[in-house]
Amino acid sequence: MSAGVMLLIDADNVSVDVMEQAVELMIERHGALHVRRAYCTAESALKHQTTFKRLGIKPMVNLAAGKNSTDIAMAVDAIDLVLALRPEVVAIASSDSDFAPLVQRLREKGCRVVGIGQDGKTGDETISVYDEFTVLAHRRGGVAKAPARGRGTRTSTRREPPTPPPRRAPAPVAPVVAAAPVVAPQPVAEPEPVDVPVVEAAPAVEPPAPERAPRRRRGRRDAELPAEVPVAAEAPMPEPEPEVPTPAAVPEPAPEAPAAEAPAPRRAPRRRKTAEPVAEAAPAPEPARPAPAPAAAYPDEIRQILAALPELLRGDAIELRLAAERLRDADLLGPRASSTRFFAPHADRFELLPAGQPNKVRLRPIEG
């Protein structure tokens, strides 16, 4: 017995829509798809059982607990199938780069190994391992959103053939017109210079400065200033009289200084009426957020993410930059993959904050 084409799906790594596109793509290229298997946990098998029945995919349930237990089960089963059925083409639908040793071993057995990954999760180191690789994205209106990428060639995931560009009519040839002979320009006679008498401009006469009126002081009458102030003539100095001895002079009391006028009391500044501060109403307290469920209540794929981000189980929000570094250290996110696209398929489990431009991620509590 020989199975020409096999499709092995890592159902914990790619979405349901990518599984459906992978089946359609293999049938379109090879005409038939003999083996269709999806390796997943028991939770994923129950969740996608309708899709598996519709596409004729056989779920291979893995009950062992562990980070890469599903990937190991898929690799072991792939070697057994190749040794027993000798297929010509083996397609692996996964964005995980851990299948590189499996791809090399299947190629040594004489199989052509084709890779199918999901947009946003596949790195360049994963694409270079396969003989051919195609990147699929969520379709909108029946057409895949991301173009396909292959090794050495680029393949397309669109279903309709490209429309040929419209042919353009040849441009009309313009008639050749003989150029007119070039006539050399004749020199133009320069006019003779004419003496123009120069008239000197009259000097500008500055207008007389207006007389400045005397400054009037508020509350006093305007006093006329005399045109000239007469200077009194100096009186002759009188001759000094001879001193006459006199009895001891009694010092006369010093004249009392005139009492200084008391300054007028200053008027107190007028106080402005200020509006009384209005007490602002205290913001209503936010309702208490229920604590997330323990890690055992989530599927295996979600538990792998929570193992790399344990703060989410306490209800804390983590920055997407820090979460992306930890997910790459745990081999859950490619080196060039986007963290926002990584959490997009799990919107029912993780919440990106804020909604417009998210920079943090938080675990949603399980409802019910």
Q: How many CA atoms lie within 13 A of 268 on its CB side?
A: 3
| Rounded Cα–Cα distance for residues 91 and 21 (Å) | 13
Q: For the whole prediction, is pTM greater than 0.85?
A: no
Find out whether 57 and 46 touch, Cβ atoms under 8 Å. no
Tell me if 360 sits within 8 A of 347, measured CB to CB.
no
The per-residue pLDDT string of the chain (368 residues; one tens digit each, 9 = 90 and over) reads 456 899 999 998 888 999 999 999 999 999 999 999 999 999 999 999 999 999 999 999 988 777 788 899 999 999 999 999 999 999 999 988 889 999 999 999 999 999 999 888 877 877 888 999 999 986 654 444 444 444 433 343 333 444 455 566 555 555 555 555 555 656 555 656 556 555 555 556 566 665 665 565 554 444 444 445 444 445 556 565 555 554 444 455 555 555 555 566 677 667 666 555 555 666 556 566 666 777 777 888 888 898 988 988 888 999 988 989 988 998 888 888 888 888 888 888 888 888 878 889 898 887 65
> From residue 16, how far is each of 48, 69, 134, 332, 334 by CA, in Å?
8, 21, 16, 18, 20
Q: Which among 42, 54, 46 is positioned nearest to 17, based on CA atoms?
A: 54
Nearest C-alpha neighbor of 345 from the set 356, 329, 332: 332
Strand partners of residue 35: 6
Beta bridge partners of 151: none
Q: Where in the chain is the domain with CATH 3.40.50.1010?
A: 5-136
In CATH terms, the superfamily for domain 5-136 is 5'-nuclease (3.40.50.1010)
Q: Tokens 């914990």 sit at which residue?
A: 12
Contact partners, residue 254, CB within 8 Å, separation at least 6: none
